[in-house]
Structure 1
Amino acid sequence: MTISTSDPRKELIAAKAAELGFDACRFADVTQAWPAGERLMEFLAQGRHGEMGWLQETAERRGHPRAMWAGARTAIMLGTNYGPDADPLAALARRDRGTISVYAQGDDYHELIKGRLKQLAGWVVARFGGELKVFVDSAPLMEKPLAEQAGLGWQGKHTNLVSREFGSWLFLGSILTELQLAPDGPSGGSCGQCQACLDICPTKAFPAPYQLDARRCISYLTIELKGPIPREFREALGNRIYGCDDCLAVCPWNKFAAVAREQRLHARDALRAPTLEDLAALDDAVFRALFAKSPVKRIGRDRFVRNVLYAIGNSGEARLAAAAERLLGDPSPLVRGAAVWALSRLLDAGAFGALRDRSTELDLDVRAEWNANPLTPAV
């Protein structure tokens, strides 16, 4: 763990952070100008946040760290390595199985990191005094720009943090304190001429380097979007059923990455590359049991099975049509509509038309899916 030792308090704080399991600890001044706030406003003005209305609602507080708390002087920025033990891109070739983003294959990092942040915060107050506040990806604090300012890494052309020591795989946590601690400078890293992250994106979600249109991002589409995923993106999903790691995994800086030390962040065997057939059969109770203590649980069973059905449609595996057909009678119109799309990809025109003729489902959302398919005439 690299820190500046110009302030002995920082050395002690970083040592305690390491003892608690953090892999990186650096410090940023939060009293200065904050260009990231302007970039956020541009992002929102262009509508690139899609259905994430909470970004718009909290924009003023996100505009500057001190808008969250006027008494803040220093941000203690913590990083936890969650490096995978296998290439995340390899599972994309297994078309009858689903791929879940690396960060969601283990336990929910929010709870793990928040607990450690609270322990560290309590220790800082007991040792040095001063008020402070703890944040971990659940409050309107822009952590990636803060991490860049503190020198944990830099925001790459894909807008995610890149670390010299850990590549793409750092969970971030923040402690804002009224203590005045000497800031660490930026790490000075750079993407150079590389644009591998931009080139690999299946949905072309980057209008330009260092810019993201979330409305086109597979992570947004599979996690944040509540309704049917737009048809123009469904084929590009491939077998990605929760999030997407392509732009992270392809980064050359991952040559310095290491496997996560924390066992709870390691992939569960059941989530490494689960079969689409098994996932399509999940009811709500089994879904909740399978994804207990997982961030996947927050999107709910219906949205998750929607994603699974799009992956089934992309699989090219005719045998999976039976799994999709069973869901034509699902209580959720979101699931029923995705099942129709999957079947339109796996069945020939005759079989698909006959299936539609036997369908008694008349709700408008599902009828739109039937009618959108060129294999049969509209009803």
Structure 2
Amino acid sequence: MPEAQAISTSDRKRASLTAFIKKEAEALGFELCRVVAPDSIPDAPARLSSYIAAGYHGTMDWMPETRERRADPRVLWSEVRSIVMFGMNYGPDLDPRHLQQEPGKGAISVYARNRDYHDVMKGRLKEIATRFAARSGADVKVFVDTAPVMEKPLAAEAGLGWQGKHTNLVSRKFGSWLFLGSLFTTADLNRDAPEIDHCGSCRACLDACPTDAFPAPYKIDARRCISYLTIEHKGSIDPALRAAFGNRIYGCDDCLSVCPWNKFAQAAREMKLQARADLIEPDLRFLLALDDPHFRTFFSGSPVKRIGRNRFVRNCLIAAGNSALPELIPACQTLVDDPAPEVRGMAVWALSRLMPGPEFERLSRERLPLETDAEVRREWMLSE
């Protein structure tokens, strides 16, 4: 009898703590909150090793460097007993692909039109963690994207959704529009059931990719992904891929936007996740004119700020070169004198596509002898 009572007491405590953290999550604006065991992704180490061996991670050297901790939560924190996965909807009001018909505008990924989700989510997760630790007496750690945590496989095992063929999490209720965060704890909590894959024979996300970045379903080659290239990749962009960027200047939502499960998604209800109006359809001429101080001011509180002005303007110049709008020539020509080589190089490329041939050739004859950077000189010579 005493043993049965102890088990019953333990079960009640576990159920009570699980209910408590889910109630706290709902109160703080998380649409989904479910619990998974730390050992729930045993296939992750092999999948991650295969991904890195294929070179699909590009220049993201932090992936191989953190491979062991990333593949197994128990390596990241040996004392963890439960992982709570949180999902916050950031669904847009309109399909963001409509901007592809506006070449004079820059297309910024939906998630980056809001206040930086790292700040929004981490602040709220810390609130939950503080209250949960006080109630449970357990240790806690919270993570939002920046730590070596495989959030999408853990979220799938927790039942928030499944990893679609585009490798992102898909929810039957929120489509492909979910921010993810996690809370690791030494407390024992009730586990939730995983979600099954509902993609079926659909390959809409794979076919929608402008740069053919999916070598196979459920695999992505970052080296061809516009999101990676506009955000993570430094320096010059492969000339063979530039035209496919269109006017995408920070990230790419095509594979997310086309997902049929989005028909069940609703626009984000969180006030702090509503898009800034000036980031929905920003004018390319305005963006091309941003110097570093103005860039920092304009993108204050936005994740765009993290990539820095030079990389961002590089992206805007690719969009300008794809625009076929002669009115962007003056802004691009000014940037031929920019201190940053990556900006100058893309200004050359943009002008080669916007200026009449004889005018560009004259400009090239004037500027090439003055250019000292090898990459920029190569742009002049390739564009002639």
TM-score by length of 1: 0.96
- Structure 1: 4+ residue segments shifted above 4 A: none
2:324 is aligned with 1:316:
yes
Equivalent residue for 1:345? Answer: 353
Aligned-pair CA distance for 1:32: 4.4
Equivalent residue for 1:63? Answer: 71
Report the secondary structure of 1:176's partner residue.
strand
Equivalent residue for 2:156? Answer: 148
Which residue, 70, 79, 87 being the options, matches 1:79? 87
Superposition CA RMSD, Å? 1.2
Equivalent residue for 1:246? Answer: 254
2:58 is aligned with 1:50:
yes
Which residue, 96, 119, 124 being the options, matches 2:132? 124
Report the secondary structure of 2:103's partner residue.
coil
Paired residue type of 1:343: L
Equivalent residue for 2:381? Answer: 371
Equivalent residue for 1:38? Answer: 46
Matches within 5 A, 1:204-283: 204-283=212-291
Q: Is the 8 A contact 2:40 2:154 kept in 1?
A: no
Which residue, 117, 126, 135 being the options, matches 2:143? 135
Q: Is the 8 A contact 2:40 2:157 kept in 1?
A: no
Q: Is the 8 A contact 1:31 1:73 kept in 2?
A: no
2:112 is aligned with 1:104:
yes
**What whole-Å deviation, never above 9, does each CA across 1:13-50 have from its counterpart, x for those lacking one?**
11111111111100101134521221111000111101
Number of equivalences: 370
Matched-pair identity in %: 55
Unaligned runs of at least 5 residues, structure 2: 1-11
Report the secondary structure of 2:105's partner residue.
coil
Unaligned runs of at least 5 residues, structure 1: none
CA distance, structure 1, for counterparts of residue 315 and residue 96 of structure 2: 18
Which residue, 192, 197, 201 being the options, matches 2:205? 197
Report the secondary structure of 2:96's partner residue.
coil
Aligned-pair CA distance for 1:230: 0.6
Which residue, 341, 344, 362 being the options, matches 2:372? 362
**What whole-Å deviation, never above 9, does each CA across 1:29-84 have from its counterpart, x for those lacking one?**
11345212211110001111011001111111112011110111111111111111
Aligned-pair CA distance for 1:276: 0.7
2:39 is aligned with 1:12:
no
2:97 is aligned with 1:89:
yes
TM-score by length of 2: 0.94
Instruction: Check 1:330–1:32 CA distance in 2 against 1; reply closer, same or farther (3 A cut).
Output: closer
Q: Is the 8 A contact 1:164 1:189 kept in 2?
A: no
Aligned-pair CA distance for 1:188: 2.3
